[in-house]
Amino acid sequence: MSFKNHDRQKFIIDTANAFTNRKISKRDFLRNMGMAGIGMSAFATGLLGGTRPFKGNMAHAASHGGTPEDVANFLREAGKPFAGTTIRYTSEATPPTVVLNQLKSEFTELTGINVEIEIVPLEQVLAKATQDVQGELGTYDIYYLDQAWTATFSRDTIDPRELYESKPDLAMPGFDFDDFSETLVEGISLYDNKWIGLPFDIPIFTLMYRKDILEKHGIAVPKTYDEFTSAVELITAAEKENGIFGTGLQAKSGHYSLECDWSQAVWGHGGSIFGADKKFSGNDSAGVEGLEWYMRMLKNAPANSVASTWDGQWQMGASGQVAMIQSWAEFFPGWNADDSEVKGLWEMTKPLEGPATLRSRDMAGFGEIPNWGHQGGSSIALSRYSKNQDAAWLFLQWACSKDIMTRCTLAGGFAPMRNSSYVDPRIVERKTRVGSGTTRHLDTVKWTIDNAIASEPDVAIWAGVANNEIPTELGKLVTGQDYNGNAQACMDKIAELVDQKVEEADLL
């Protein structure tokens, strides 16, 4: 028996549900799991966390294939001196990277430049990039840089605008830097007035809900945290017996996903991570209120939330376990795919706003932008230590060109980086579609990017504390290992740890 990825996941979930409900025997359960390849499969790797749940449709990318002629001619000429060169790029399995990995042969055919894309979990990307820059090794020509690492790696990359100016022979015609969404550039790629790379990926928090469940209980689509809380608690109370919870979370202890959930909760309750004095401010009243709200939501989420990262949270939505999720907008296309069990049931709306008032940017520290929609975007950047800089620069331009970025969106359904993509006829055409390849959520995503984008602090220690101290202490709280449910005590401890790091780095 052969399974496509989604079919297999659905099969596993159905089997598990059947076993839980005693509809099949243990023997059948084990046999079905064996048929699904449980044990040493890629699915098992996915359960390790850190794998982004991508439900792409490569056929769409291929069907719109073909680099525009002017760009193709440029690449043929500019790439000649570098034919046979191999460039290396390491990345998380982000939707655009996965699509790019499929499309890269087009670039190789035009230029003769080979591209090796190493796809590993996010924390390994960080470890590899850190090692590379520490030794100035140039093992990787291109880095995938999460927005939380912008400040950490800013000195290790080359500003693409400078390169475009200084190497006219290698400048792609019509590349158009101004076409990148300004708020995205600021939130993802800009540090100290330097573009550390090109915006490449923009997962952003929006509110997604099951319209059938909301309609069943006569609940209006929540707009504020208070409305959301009431709706979540009502649904959990009514549907828990049926295995459906009000919401689902990505609260895995020690993982960056928990930090993302937490920072969204803090901003949503009028707080910020740092104050203007560059001291940690998550332990002020607004921050603690945000965390207490999050703990309340945990009681209305599947128990596995505390063991889940974003892939687990996506699974909750795909398997019909939850009614509402405020999380990464890129979950949406997968839930709406033709072969999805919940196709057409999920809708998307703007992230929750208020009743708290947002903290202003000048009251936050280290370039943090408090807002309603947490963004987890990334850039792809040219390594200062690369030994194949020119070849890598050509690839970078091709990967972030208008056509390729639009085709990546068509294949994956995630949000484009370029303004032109949103009005591209191929994207607009699908705004009414329900099913695979839908772009009906992109207007909401665009609105969130333009009006409600929130960004974590730009500070060199952030990659460390966002992946270690903060999610580890939060993990102790949410799993009951420490703090006895006291959010204030947990936040005070985090404040102590983070302030110490800031001081040690002479950042005050």
Partner 1 sequence: MAEAQINHQDGRGGRKLLALPQWLTSEHPLPWLFPATAMLIIFGIYPVLYSLWLSFFKRNPATRVEKFDPSWNWSKLIADDRVWDAVVVTLTYTSVALIIQLVLGMLIALLLDSDRRGFGVLRALMTLPLVVPPAVTGMMFLLMYDGSFGVISHVLYDLGILSPNAPLLANGSTALLSVIIVDVWQWTPFMVLIMLAGLRALPKDPFEAAAIDGATDVQAFFRLTLPMMSKIIALAVLIRGIDLFRIYDYVKVMTDSGPGTATETLTAYTGTVYFKSADFPYASTVAIFTLLTVLVVANVFIKIFRVRF
Q: What is the contact surface with partner 1 in residues (CB under 8 A)?
A: 12-13, 15-16, 19-20, 26, 29-30, 33, 38-40, 44-45, 47-49, 123, 126-127, 130, 134, 152, 252-255, 302-304, 306-307, 459-461, 463-465, 467-468, 472-473, 475-482, 501, 504-507
CB of 234 to partner 1, least distance (A): 20
Separation of alpha carbons 92 and 122, rounded Å: 5
CB of 282 to partner 1, least distance (A): 17
Indicate the residue among 411 and 470 with the shorter CB distance to partner 1. Answer: 470
Indicate the residue among 262 and 267 with the shorter CB distance to partner 1. Answer: 262
Residue 132's alpha-carbon distances to 117, 126, 202, in angstroms, are: 16, 10, 25
Query: Reduced to 3 states, what is the DSSP secondary structure of residue 315?
Result: helix
Residue 50's alpha-carbon distances to 123, 215, 230, 310, 314, in angstroms, are: 8, 34, 31, 7, 12
Query: Reduced to 3 states, what is the DSSP secondary structure of residue 252?
Result: coil
First to last CA, the chain: 60
CB of 125 to partner 1, least distance (A): 11
Indicate the residue among 123 and 292 with the shorter CB distance to partner 1. Answer: 123
* Best CA proximity match to 361, nearest among 450, 275, 488, 475: 275
Q: Give the Cα-Cα-Cα angle 418, 424, 425 (nearest 5 degrees).
A: 165
Strands (E), 333-433: 346-349, 373-374, 378-383
Residue 468's alpha-carbon distances to 161, 266, 276, in angstroms, are: 33, 18, 23
Q: Give the Cα-Cα-Cα angle 457, 458, 460 (nearest 5 degrees).
A: 115
Indicate the residue among 383 and 401 with the shorter CB distance to partner 1. Answer: 383
DSSP at 65:
-
Residue 360's alpha-carbon distances to 251, 274, 286, 451, 498, in angstroms, are: 27, 12, 13, 14, 21
CB of 298 to partner 1, least distance (A): 11
Indicate the residue among 108 and 130 with the shorter CB distance to partner 1. Answer: 130
CB of 38 to partner 1, least distance (A): 6
Indicate the residue among 32 and 57 with the shorter CB distance to partner 1. Answer: 32
CB of 32 to partner 1, least distance (A): 10
H-type helices in 190-272, by residue range?
Answer: 211-216, 225-239, 256-268
Indicate the residue among 75 and 490 with the shorter CB distance to partner 1. Answer: 490
CB of 323 to partner 1, least distance (A): 17
Strands (E), 65-106: 86-91
CB of 133 to partner 1, least distance (A): 8
Indicate the residue among 323 and 352 with the shorter CB distance to partner 1. Answer: 323
